Amino acid sequence: MRMSKLYMPTLREVPSEAEIPSHKLLLRAGMTRKLVSGIYSYLPLGYRVIRKIEQIVREEMDNAGSEELLMSAIQPRELWEASERWESFGPEMFKLKDRNSREFCLGPTHEEYFTNLIKDEVRSYKQLPLNLYQIQTKYRDEKRPRFGVIRAREFIMKDAYSFDKDLEGMERSYKEMWEAYEKIFTRLKLKYKVVQGDSGSMGGNNSHEFMAMSEVGESLVAYCDNCNYAATDEKAEVVYNVKESEGIEDKMEKVYTPDAKTIDDLVDLFKIEKSNFGKALVYNVSGEPVVVIVPGDRELNETKLCNYLGAPEHELEMADEETIIRITGANKGFTGPVGLIGDVKLLVDSRITKMKNLIVGGNETDYHLKNVNYGRDFTGEVVEDLLLVEEGDICPKCGKPLLMDRGIEVGNIFQLGTKYSSSLNANYLDEDGKEKPFVMGSYGVGVSRSMAAIVEQYHDEYGIIWPLVVAPYHVIITIINTKNEEQKQLGEKIYKELLDEGLEVLLDDRNERAGVKFNDRDLIGIPIRITVGKKASENIVEYSLRKDNKNIEISVDEIMDKIRGDFEKEDIRI
């Protein structure tokens, strides 16, 4: 491709809302463009990267025995009613009506649609296992679209669904997909971790997330260097050892604590560690108030709370002041477990039940209670673990301290079981002619998000540094002075030869200053660079790689050998 013809609208200034490198660089390099919040176009260079990622995903899915098909993005309401997700998916779902007022959604995912597709058509155990996938556009009206294509409202996903006759079969399919994902993300050159995930609205009880590690990642991962334990912060089990305080339960006392509204204020006032407090949080869950008590030195994990309550995350919100006053009789900041007004649901993290002589809010403005003990002074619904993991917590598997890191979730695999097949009546006949629901799994790869994740891991202050496998073009030839005939002709000659070799080549034949050309080639991140300049008359060019920027002079007939060598280093054949 000649750059004089290429549609590559690079930007000097990036929109101020672009906060992270991948978002800025993909915009600046003329690879993506925003239409409205969370809705992006892929311009020619960016779309070439997308197609390469798709191709790697496709090859590994095919190798793993999954078959590609393509479904519509539009799905009828009835399908989602059957699985009870029309409501529970919540405001993330884009809904629309046709001219006859029939309701549809733009598919945020396709569990229902795939289950419905094979239902009544796959009838016998002999046709199982079956694994189907598509690479398709998904729609989610995200609460907070951000970071460009990382959290978009329209994005490209590869989604696959497996159908097995029993649990063992499903586990096998799951493992095959896991292995296929390892191959995909390895080929994409992503540094990643596989971590236990929370199954959320997807249902089922086992899931793993593939995290591209990045300091700007939205996901927090807790992991152990000693054993292989790794989980998202939403999922990670918290081992919290209560200091077994001996001694007797002291007499409960009311303490005047004006102006002390936060745990830190109280720590100053009582001169006692945070872990001696019982922290109360008040939520509104599907319109009902819920009070939760956790140890004062810890944060509550809202995902664990939603899972315990069986409520979708969008139905959880912090209670307003009015609700707090109604159920506690006190202003915000003085909520506690003793003497709540009316029939309020009170959840207690199990650790609280083992702690002695707690300090808690007094449910009276300006007062706290000390020496409060579970069982004697209050009771509630005890929940095993409602805490958010922290760095340094004890690994639930081996007991060593946990580490925390950030990641971008680029893939997700779920063991669904029979949630969708049961609700949609999708059955097969087993060996004895008995009807049984399919046992399912679902598997997603964020194709467009992966593009941004690669940029996060491969860039510097000057631009993107594409790994060869996904680079929009392999080689860029820069003619320093297009007015110089020798340079021009040599550039054209090399261009033609490399194209004949089957390489993807950009020829910078633009009538621009060398500095502009160099800046652009750094920005768009083409891995292999050939510079045709002053020594064109001697058949000598400069050769360099974007990733290390070391220039060497070579003669034109050495170019192909050099390129072959660099392809081999990346394990790719031309």
Taking CB under 6 A as the binding criterion, the range among 4-12, 180-188, 318-326, 405-413 that sits at the site for ligand ATP is 405-413
Residue among 217, 337, 407, 446 that touches ligand ATP (CB under 6 A): 446
For ligand ATP, the binding residues in 115-154 under the rule CB under 6 A are: 140, 142, 151-152
**159 vs 349, which CB is nearer to ligand ATP?**
159
159 and 136 in contact (C-beta within 8 Å)? Answer: yes
For residue 129, whether the previous peptide bond is cis, meaning omega lies within 30 degrees of 0, is yes
Cβ of residue 160: shortest distance to ligand ATP, in angstroms?
Answer: 11
Q: Residue 85, interface with ligand ATP (CB under 6 A)? A: no
Radius of gyration of the chain (CA): 29
For residue 434, which phi and psi values (nearest 5 degrees)?
Answer: -95, 140
Specify the residue, 209 or 237, whose C-beta has the smaller distance to ligand ATP.
209
Tell me if 93 sits within 8 A of 110, measured CB to CB.
Answer: no
Question: CB under 6 A: which stretch of 263-271, 366-374, 441-449, 491-499 binds ligand ATP?
Answer: 441-449
Nearest to 308 by CA among 268, 344, 350: 350
CB of 448 to ligand ATP, least distance (A): 6
Residue 161 near ligand ATP by CB under 6 A: no
Handedness of CA 12, 14, 15, 16 (dihedral sign): negative
H/E element, 86: helix 85-88
Pick 208 or 517: Cβ nearer ligand ATP: 208
Complex with ligand ATP: residue 93 or 395, whichever CB lies closer:
93
Task: Look up residue 205 and give its two tokens.
Answer: 């009880």
Which one among 409, 509, 520, 522 touches ligand ATP, defined by CB under 6 A?
A: 409
Q: Give the shortest CB-279-to-ligand ATP separation in angstroms.
A: 26
Q: CA-to-CA distance for 547 and 463, rounded, in angstroms? A: 11
| 155 binding ligand ATP? (CB under 6 A) | yes
Q: CA dist 407 to 23, 454, 459, Å? A: 16, 12, 16
Judged by CB under 6 A, the residue of 56, 61, 157, 480 near ligand ATP is 157
The separation between CA 74 and the C-alpha centre of its own chain, rounded to angstroms, equals 24
d(CA 281, CA 291): 6
410 binds ligand ATP (CB under 6 A): yes
411, 417, 472, 525: which one contacts ligand ATP (CB under 6 A)?
411
SS3 of 414-478: the string is EEEECHHHHHCCCEEECCCCCEEECEEEEEEEEHHHHHHHHHHHCEECCEECCCHHHCCCCEEEE
Q: Does 107 bind ligand ATP (CB under 6 A)?
A: no
Q: How far is the CB of 142 from ligand ATP (least distance, A)?
A: 5
Q: Smallest gap, in angstroms, from Cβ of residue 99 to ligand ATP? A: 29
Q: Does 109 bind ligand ATP (CB under 6 A)?
A: yes
- Which amino acid is present at 536? A
Q: How far is the CB of 351 from ligand ATP (least distance, A)?
A: 27
Whether 172 contacts 165, CB under 8 Å: no
- Of 554, 533, 535, which Cα lies nearest the Cα of 543? 554
Pick the closer one to ligand ATP by CB: 152 or 494: 152
Pick the binder of ligand ATP from 30, 278, 444, 463 (CB under 6 A). Answer: 444
As measured in angstroms, the least distance from the Cβ of 391 to ligand ATP is 21
Of the pair 145, 491, the CB lying nearest ligand ATP is at 145
Cα–Cα distance for residue pair 397/498, rounded to 1 Å: 54
Tell me the closest approach of the beta carbon of residue 412 to ligand ATP, in angstroms: 3
DSSP 165-184: SSHHHHHHHHHHHHHHHHHH
Total residues interacting with ligand ATP, rule: CB under 6 A: 15
Binding site for ligand ATP (CB under 6 A): 109, 140, 142, 151-152, 155, 157, 409-412, 444, 446, 448-449
